[in-house]
């Protein structure tokens, strides 16, 4: 089951989570100060859900906390070190975008280059898509391309969804912690090493940042935070799908993706909705489910709390999906799909009835 002992598992998760939380919380004060002094501010615009200029340097605190969480426990291979160096490029691109605003196409090209190099160095790709009662193996090249597109897609989805107080940090916390548990369960593959600690560290970095951003935001995580969290979580899903085993059986990729389901579903649904409407889907908008609720007058705290409930469902479903048989996996998948479809229908009906130009508040 686990390559590490149960004691090491709990101490590892607790240590990485705790140290990252402390580092991120302490770093949040410094990040806000730096943002104000250097005038790296998020100013309200037509797409914004906030009304006052706010520093957008909080991602520096998340990055600091994550590195602190890894410092005492992780023992990465040289491939992981090389990939982390390459991954730092995507963080740099995001930091520059927070300051000078890089055009969409060059930024997207940079994301693809970084994702491709990272997956190549670690030797990752999506080996198969496992569904209840079915498994579809992918050729290495196809798996690599699908994995690269997924990483880039989720990084940008995370950035799109980071729009109200606490939402991005909540997804980092729920997603990172659930992936840490799944990766620890799947330690039948020694190639993963202590990779579960990366999930715990990103969860701790998100948790430490949360008080700075929820329920009232003193600082936003910015692109540097959303890209860092999105990038790490996406790569960890591929790592688990590649090497994760429970009792010798591969853990399906769906189990690793499900903890990220709230962001993946909302962003994908909104993208297709705008395409069907023949709208310019590259243009900034306020059409995500959480934005529709804010536009109906819901507070950011109330909307984020609703999203946290959905994230809890996805995390619990992911653990059941990983450990269960095909019957359980089918039931979990159907429940999650039904909840999300019902959520979309209810939110859009509610918006059509209660839409108003409500006062906005500070966001993440």
Mean pLDDT, rounded, for 200-216: 94
More confident site: 111 or 50: 111
Query: What is the pLDDT, as a whole number, of residue 107?
Result: 82
| DSSP code of residue 190 | G
Location of structure tokens 């996996």: 329
pTM of the model: 0.89
pLDDT at 328 over 60: yes
Angle at 11 between CA 7 and CA 14, to 5 degrees: 140
β-bridge pairing 134-137 and 54-55: unpaired
Helix (DSSP H) and strand (DSSP E) numbers for the chain: 13, 6
- Residues of the chain with pLDDT > 90, as a percent, come to 54
Q: Render pLDDT for 69-101 as a digit per residue (tens, 0 to 9).
A: 888 765 665 556 665 666 677 777 777 776 777
Query: What is the pLDDT, as a whole number, of residue 76?
Result: 61
Mean pLDDT, rounded, for 234-250: 88
| DSSP code of residue 288 | S
158 φ, ψ to 5°?
-60, -40
Question: Angle between the 196-213 and 222-243 helix axes, to the nearest 10 degrees?
Answer: 150
Mean pLDDT, rounded, for 188-211: 82
Mean pLDDT, rounded, for 163-171: 94
Query: What is the pLDDT, as a whole number, of residue 44?
Result: 66
């Amino acid at each position: 089951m686990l390559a590490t002992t149960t004691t090491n598992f709990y101490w590892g998760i607790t240590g990485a989570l705790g140290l990252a939380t402390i580092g991120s919380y302490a770093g949040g004060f410094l990040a806000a100060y730096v943002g104000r002094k250097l005038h790296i501010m998020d100013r309200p615009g037509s797409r914004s859900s906030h009304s006052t200029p706010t520093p957008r340097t909080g991602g520096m605190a998340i990055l600091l906390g994550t590195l602190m969480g890894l410092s005492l426990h992780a023992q990465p291979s040289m491939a992981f070190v090389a990939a982390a160096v390459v991954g730092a490029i995507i963080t740099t691109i995001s930091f520059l975008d927070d300051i000078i605003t890089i055009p969409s196409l060059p930024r997207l090209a940079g994301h693809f280059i970084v994702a491709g190099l990272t997956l190549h160095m670690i030797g990752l790709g999506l080996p198969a898509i496992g569904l209840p009662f079915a498994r579809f193996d992918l050729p290495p090249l196809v798996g690599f391309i699908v994995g690269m597109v997924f990483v880039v897609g989720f990084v940008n989805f995370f950035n799109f969804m980071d729009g109200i107080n606490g939402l991005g940090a909540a997804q980092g916390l729920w997603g990172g912690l659930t992936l840490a548990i799944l990766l620890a369960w799947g330690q039948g593959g020694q190639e993963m090493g202590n990779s579960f600690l990366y999930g715990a560290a990103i969860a701790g970095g998100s948790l430490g940042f949360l008080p700075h951003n929820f329920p009232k935001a003193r600082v936003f995580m910015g692109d540097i935070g959303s890209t860092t969290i999105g990038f790490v979580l996406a790569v960890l899903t591929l790592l688990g799908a590649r090497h994760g085993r429970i009792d010798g059986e591969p853990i399906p990729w769906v189990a690793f993706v499900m903890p990220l389901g709230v962001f993946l579903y909302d962003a994908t649904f909104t993208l297709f909705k705008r395409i069907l409407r023949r709208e310019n889907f590259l243009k900034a908008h306020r059409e995500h489910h959480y934005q529709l609720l804010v536009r109906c007058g819901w507070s950011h705290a109330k909307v984020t709390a609703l999203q946290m409930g959905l994230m809890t469902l996805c995390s619990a479903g992911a653990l059941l999906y990983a450990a269960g048989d095909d019957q359980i996996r089918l039931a979990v998948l159907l429940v999650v799909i039904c909840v999300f479809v019902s959520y979309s229908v209810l939110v859009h009906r509610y918006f059509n009835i209660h839409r108003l130009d409500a006062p906005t508040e500070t966001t993440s």
